[in-house]
Amino acid sequence: MDRLATDMHAACQSIHPSCSRVLTVHGTLDEFVPVEDAMEFAKYIPNHKLQIVEVADHEYTSHQEELASIVLDFVMASLYTDKCVHKTSLSGSKTDKFIDSRL
């Protein structure tokens, strides 16, 4: 997607309100997308969590572990509040039971 040709406000508003969750992670030293853009977009995205990573560039060059931790924490927290994900047994096989999840 060509960012310069994208109406980001319209893109944010196109996220359906029933979308269970949206995570945006943004670095304060991003040279391509100003952190202020992420803060502005957050105002228009329903069910949104914005995580700002201090001193991270666009590629999270020195912040890979922090980025992975943020995403993993977000996904894991969502597993406990969402619907319709198969429960996996200790052996790794799926069961017919469900846990709450929107994945």
Tell me the DSSP string of 13-53. Answer: HTS-TT---EEEEEETT-SSS-HHHHHHHHTTSTTEEEEEE
pLDDT tens readout for residues 43-79 = 888 888 999 999 999 999 999 999 999 999 999 988 8
Confidence of residue 32 (pLDDT cuts 50, 70, 90): very high
Is 60 exceeded by the pLDDT of residue 95?
Answer: no
Query: Which one of 32-36, 41-45, 60-64, 81-85 scores highest in mean pLDDT?
Result: 60-64
> Rounded to an integer, what distance in angstroms lies between the CA atom of residue 53 and that of residue 19?
24
Query: For the whole model, what pTM was predicted?
Result: 0.68
What range defines the domain where residue 19 resides? 3-99
CATH number at residue 42: 3.40.50.1820
The number of domains in the chain is: 1
Burial class (CB in 10 A: 0-12, 13-18, 19+), 56: buried
